[in-house]
Amino acid sequence: MKPKIKANVRPSQYLDYRLYFEGLFKELKSSKESYSYQTFAEELGFSASSIMHQIVKAYRPLTDKSLRRILKHLDLPAAERKYLIYLIAFCNAKNSGEKEAAFEGMKESAARSIPEEMEKYQLQYFSHWLHPVIWEMIGCSYFISDVNWIVERLRIKVTPEEVLESLSLLESLGLIRLEDGKWQQTQDRVVTPPRVKGLSLVSYHLNMLDHAKLALTDVKGSQRDFSSSTVSLSEESFEKLRGMIHDFQVALLDEANRSTKTEKVYQINIQLFPFTRN
């Protein structure tokens, strides 16, 4: 029996199973120039064929039957195996319910595969909208270090227990500290390591998109601003617009930092995404 494939590339580094298998192929090929997709397919339990090339290039989906065969030939820790199963379910989901369920499984499996306790906490930080919001509240001039006060100030209903859990997480991450009975921020920015950034930020944006939809109907027009534009672009123009958005985000953060007497916590969402294929 052939030895299982063992590599540094892990499924939990990816949000698309095709990119994982492409990364795995490139790592294997880097040590053997003649390594091909046919060899890759054979080592994953298929007869020498183009099946893995077709899967990577999205010409065909990865079926459950093919996945079971592949898993027999991959040397992966249990949590990484589960993540890969959920990742494929996430990419192949036919509706939002299936996609959400698979994504929750991905988050749970990723947390188990991360050895450093601090990175596990950082994955949790972006997993719920409450943590970034409370962290920003603590930096406001009007903030009062009282759990019930925080509950009353939040527009979305939460329990005192949820607030306490959030404060505990923020303290564990070293983002806040208690001084003379008052919570204080310990830094100006929240930075996540590359290993958890992709998954945690997807979870964060999904959270915020849901709240943006609610705000569209629940918040008075004078207290919000929503706008959208549909445009056709060249790749060059698209990259220029991305750059403009990034520059605008920096300008927004600079202006927010200059605000010395803050009164509310706001969420700013900016989206640019394609509606058509090439």
Give CA–CA dist 101/259, Å, rounded: 40
Using one digit for the tens of pLDDT, what is the confidence trace for 197-236?
566 667 777 778 888 888 888 888 888 888 888 888 888 9
In degrees and rounded to multiples of 5, residue 61 shows phi and psi of -80, 160
Identify whether the C-beta of residue 184 lies closer than 8 Å to the C-beta of residue 176.
Answer: yes
Give CA–CA dist 223/202, Å, rounded: 27
In the predicted structure, residue 118 carries a pLDDT above the cut 60: no
Percent helix, strand, coil in the chain, to 5, is 60, 5, 40
| Average pLDDT of the segment spanning 20-48 | 91
**Given pLDDT bands bounded at 50, 70 and 90, which one contains residue 191?**
low
Query: What are the angstrom distances between the C-alpha of 195 and each of 95, 98, 126, 198?
Result: 28, 25, 14, 7
Q: What is the pLDDT of residue 255?
A: 85
Q: Which of 54-58, 129-133, 189-193, 272-276 has the lowest mean pLDDT?
A: 189-193
Q: What is the pLDDT of residue 196?
A: 54
In degrees and rounded to multiples of 5, residue 183 shows phi and psi of -75, 135
Query: What percentage of the chain has pLDDT greater than the value 90?
Result: 38
**11 token code pair:** 């499924």
Q: What is the pLDDT of residue 1?
A: 60
Q: What is the pLDDT of residue 192?
A: 62
| Average pLDDT of the segment spanning 110-139 | 77
Identify whether the C-beta of residue 52 lies closer than 8 Å to the C-beta of residue 21.
Answer: yes
Query: What percentage of the chain has pLDDT greater than the value 70?
Result: 90
Q: What is the pLDDT of residue 40?
A: 94
Give CA–CA dist 168/144, Å, rounded: 16
The better pLDDT of the pair 151, 254 is held by 151
Q: What is the pTM of this model?
A: 0.60
Q: What is the pLDDT of residue 195?
A: 55
Query: What are the angstrom distances between the C-alpha of 265 and each of 133, 144, 153?
Result: 7, 14, 10
In the predicted structure, residue 61 carries a pLDDT above the cut 70: yes
Highest mean pLDDT among 189-193, 194-198, 200-204, 271-275: 271-275
Catalogue the E-assigned strands of 115-205. 176-179, 182-185
Q: What is the pLDDT of residue 217?
A: 82
Give CA–CA dist 196/10, Å, rounded: 12
**Given pLDDT bands bounded at 50, 70 and 90, which one contains residue 120?**
low
In the predicted structure, residue 194 carries a pLDDT above the cut 60: no
